[in-house]
Every structure is written in C-alpha cells, then in structure tokens.
Chain A
Amino acid sequence: QTTGTVAQETSTGTPNGVTRPRGFRASGVAAGIKAGGSLDLALVVNDGPRREAAGVFTTNQVKAAPVLWSEQVLRERRLRAVVLNSGGANACTGPEGFQDTHTTAERAAELLDTGAIEIGVCSTGLIGQRLPMRALLDGLGAAVDGLADTERAGTDAATAVLTTDTRPKQACRTHPDGWSVGGMVKGAGMLAPNLA
C-alpha cells in the first residue's frame, strides 16, 4: 500500500489526495471570496465512467444552505462534481442564501454540461453573511478551466478550502489490486463532527 502524507512535505509529482484515484480532476482558484487574494474556491470533478456518491452531514439542527442542498441531491446517490468555497459558510442566510447555493450548483452544472442535481456544494467560513456571488460565479469558470488530475491540482483544491488551517491536508491509499482512495479535508476550529 502507498501512504499519502501532507502534500507540502512530499512533492513527488504523484497525486496524494482527491486526484490520486483515476477519473478525477480538481482545481483551486482565488475567486475573491476571501480578502487578500488567497485560494478560496475548489472544484472536484468525477469524470466517470460511474458517478456514484455518498455523504454524511452535520447533526447540528441548524444546517447551512449547502448542507441542505447537498443532502437533497445525494438522495440520488450520484454526483458529477463538488464545489467548495472558503470565506463564508452561507449558514443562517435565509432563503436568499439557499438560492445562492442553488445558483452555484446551476452554474457549475452548466459549465460541466450536467444537471444541478449532480453538483454537491460545501461552504466554510463566517456564519451569517451572504457570499459574494458575482466573484464566486466568475471564479467557477476559472476553476473549470483549471481542472487537472495532477498533484498540484489536488493540492490547490485542498488549499482553497482552508480557513484557519495552516496547511492543506490530504491522504491516499492504493490497494495492491490497483484501486485507490484519496481524500482532502479542512478543519481547525469548531471541530467536533457528529455526522449522520
């Protein structure tokens, strides 16, 4: 088995996160959601041939709009892509916030030539503020343009979701038979997941 570690520490050229398994591309761009020009919008795309998916979500009874959206679309157990942003949680933002998530999924679906119900959305950052949608939607175009199956692309995606984290976090394992599992995660505070 091959063990993945923090990308910054092992720049081998071999993807060690979400782009390690075949059939996936990723990107991370600076869309201008965060002040300061750092990466803040990530995209992970499943090029198939299959598009099965699963998810677990917070058990907090106050759920952010992207959680409500992603729970709904995952009832079909299929995802073509996941859009993730830092710089704003889009939580407690009312119907307008939910519409922002819907619009994000619609735009990603349009760019990827699929249906919005195959787009998962995740957000992280400050609770209670609307996302800067013009910047986010423009950034989605750049994110699609930047998609690649490389180590760099996976690391950019893992970096774009960071908030108070100090480094991207990725891991992967390859089974001796040749199939792989890869992943990325963010989280530094408000960190006691209870999932279902």
Chain B
Amino acid sequence: TMLAVVTTDAVVDGEGLQRSLLEASRGTFERLDVDGGTSTNDTVLLLSSGASGLTPAEEEFTELLTEVCADLVRQLQHDAEGATKAIDITVRGAVSESDAVGIARLTAEDNLVCTALFGSDPNWGRIVMAVGRSGATVDASSLEVTVNGVTLYSRGAPVAERDTVDLSGRDVEILVDLHLGEHSATVLTTDLSHGYVEENSAYSS
C-alpha cells in the first residue's frame, strides 16, 4: 500500500489543487510498479494552508509539486521490499502514450524479467517477450532493446553479447525503442529477489 500526504503553504484553491495533483500523480506515483499490486488503500492527499500568502501560477505549482512527488517515488523504489536493483524502464517510439506506459508497466511486472535482473542477467529475450505480449502496437522487425547503455537486440536479431553489459551496480536502465511513433514513458520498478518472497510469505497483507 502506498500512502502519501503532501502539504503546501501556497495559496491554491481546491480545484487547482486537484488539477495539479492529478497531473503530478500521473507522471510520478502512477509510474511506479514494484509488483503489480494496486492496493485497496492507496491514497495521496494534498493540503494547502495558504500560510505563505503567495499565489503561484498553476503551472509553477504543479512543477514543484511534481518534483516533490518524484523525489518521494524514487525513495519508494529504493526501499521496496527485497529490492537489490532500482530499475528504470523507458519505452520510446510508441504510437501512443498509453502504449508506452502499458509496455513499460507490463515489463516491470514480468517475473521473468525481474528475476533475471536479480541475477544481474541482462536477459533481453525476456524483455522482448514481455514487450510482445503487452497488447500494444509492436513490430518485431523494428524493436530495439538497450540495457545500461548497451544495445543487445535490434531489428529482429541480437547485436551484442549479454556479458558486455555491466549490471554489478544497483541502478539499471532498460530502454525499449519501438521505432513506431513519437510517444514515450518511463516506469520505475525493482528486481524480484529472495528477500521479496521471504517478506511476503512472512507478512501476509
């Protein structure tokens, strides 16, 4: 479950707060997917005291709110149950934003992708499999997969050996380029470790 409370002393009316929160959430909280579990209790509340006496432009307020939410989400990613890797999955070249988000989320939730990364294995085959089963518009002949800066698969065939990718660190960047359109999205996730399984077999919420 994710619970968040955000406060501001800017003068913003309730409708403005709601618009800003929806916008900020869409690019932050909703782009975190550790295990596919959308909770019964997920809540983000935003409160304004107006104590500063200052009224920012809505765009300016949304921008700062988004920065705070992004910071909180990054902390969630790094403290997720059993996480040994912080993985950013970026999909670009999609025909729509919903396709980009859908592919990134499905890849983030894929157990085979996440267990491979726990083992520091840049298993591009599992990534391609996840992309292909997403239901989004995908063309295998134009698909490209890059892990930590090394392009492993391009336009239908492997182009580099897996052992050329360094996954010894905590941070992992996966880039899936569909080469089909102009839309992109990034979803944050983690690996699937022994620690996650132990945590969730001992703590039964």
Give A166's nearest chain B residue, CB to CB: B79
B182 to chain A, nearest CB (A): 24
Do B5 and A179 touch across chains, with their CB atoms under 8 A apart? no
Classify the secondary structure of A's interface with B. loop
Contact digits for B53-95, partner A, Cβ 8 Å, 1 yes 0 no? 0101000110011011101110110011100000000000000
Give A167's nearest chain B residue, CB to CB: B79
A34 to chain B, nearest CB (A): 12
Among the 9-residue stretches B32-40, B124-132, B170-178, the one with 4 or more Cβ atoms under 8 Å from chain A is: B32-40
Within 8 A of B (CB), among A44-98: 44, 46-60, 62-64, 66-67, 70, 74, 76-79, 82, 84, 89, 91-92
User: How many of chain B's residues have a CB under 8 angstroms from any CB in A?
Assistant: 69
Do B14 and A21 touch across chains, with their CB atoms under 8 A apart? no
Give B4's nearest chain A residue, CB to CB: A185
Do A171 and B72 touch across chains, with their CB atoms under 8 A apart? yes
The answer, among B41, B56, B68, for a CB contact under 8 Å with A171, is B68
Do B42 and A181 touch across chains, with their CB atoms under 8 A apart? no
Do A46 and B37 touch across chains, with their CB atoms under 8 A apart? no
The answer, among A50, A63, A79, for a CB contact under 8 Å with B45, is A79
Chain B residues with CB below 8 A from A195, complex form: 25, 29-30, 42, 44
Within 8 A of A (CB), among B102-146: 105, 109
The answer, among A47, A161, A179, A191, for a CB contact under 8 Å with B8, is A179
With A48-B50, A173-B67: A192-B35 Cβ-Cβ less than 8 Å: yes
Do B9 and A124 touch across chains, with their CB atoms under 8 A apart? no
A36 proximal to B (CB < 8 A): no
Chain A residues with CB below 8 A from B98, complex form: none
With A53-B48, A82-B47, A189-B81: A44-B7 Cβ-Cβ less than 8 Å: yes
CA distance in complex: A50, B43 (Å): 22
Contact digits for A1-39, partner B, Cβ 8 Å, 1 yes 0 no? 101101000000000001111111000000000000000
Classify the secondary structure of B's interface with A. mixed
B168 proximal to A (CB < 8 A): no
With A126-B205, A180-B8, A193-B32: A171-B71 Cβ-Cβ less than 8 Å: yes
The answer, among B4, B60, B109, for a CB contact under 8 Å with A184, is B4
Chain B residues with CB below 8 A from A59, complex form: 38
Do A182 and B54 touch across chains, with their CB atoms under 8 A apart? no
A187 to chain B, nearest CB (A): 4
With A23-B50, A50-B48: A58-B38 Cβ-Cβ less than 8 Å: yes
B164 proximal to A (CB < 8 A): no
Give A18's nearest chain B residue, CB to CB: B7
CA distance in complex: A126, B192 (Å): 22
Contact digits for A148-182, partner B, Cβ 8 Å, 1 yes 0 no? 00000000010001011111011111010111111
The answer, among A52, A89, A122, A166, for a CB contact under 8 Å with B17, is A52
With A163-B205, A175-B60, A195-B29: A70-B45 Cβ-Cβ less than 8 Å: yes
4 smallest CB-CB distances across A and B, nearest first, come from: A77-B14, A23-B49, A23-B51, A50-B50
Question: Can you list 9 contacts pairing A with B, beta carbon distance less than 8 Å?
Answer: A74-B45, A89-B1, A92-B40, A171-B68, A180-B10, A182-B8, A183-B68, A193-B38, A195-B29
